[in-house]
Amino acid sequence: MVYDRALRLIRTNNIKKGALAESIGVSRSTLSNYLHGVREPDTIVLLRMAGILGVSTDYLVGTTDIPTPPENQIEYLLKKHNFDVLSARLQYKIKIES
């Protein structure tokens, strides 16, 4: 499920896969494995991917059809995992349509 929804979001937002891979801290080939269902991302990568794509982790894994992330998701990533979603989006020129 992660790969299906992530691919749809990547296409919808015209995100370059290389930029997404770098922004979440994995190689392009690892991201490709996630997006083709060969591998499942670990929790931290899943959190980063959801943050960058602007959706909840529950949406990515298919437990809800509501993509809206919790209000505190970006703050949680910064505080608990030292991952600044907004800076990463800027650095890798990733724009998410609201």
Q: What is the pTM of this model?
A: 0.86
Better pLDDT: 59 or 75: 59
* CA–CA dist 20, 64 (Å, integer): 23
pLDDT in tens, 1-53: 678 999 999 999 999 999 999 999 999 999 999 999 999 999 999 999 999 99
H or E segment to which residue 11 belongs: helix 2-12
Is the pLDDT reported for residue 98 higher than 80? Answer: no
A 10 A CB-CB count for 30 gives 16
Indicate the pLDDT class of residue 68, thresholds 50, 70 and 90: confident
Residue 22 structure tokens: 């770098």
CA distance 6 to 52: 11
Give the integer Cα–Cα distance in Å for 93 and 11: 15
Q: What fold characterizes domain 2-91?
A: 434 Repressor (Amino-terminal Domain) (1.10.260)
Please state at what angle helix 2-12 crosses helix 28-35, rounded to 10 degrees: 110
Domain spans of the chain? 2-91
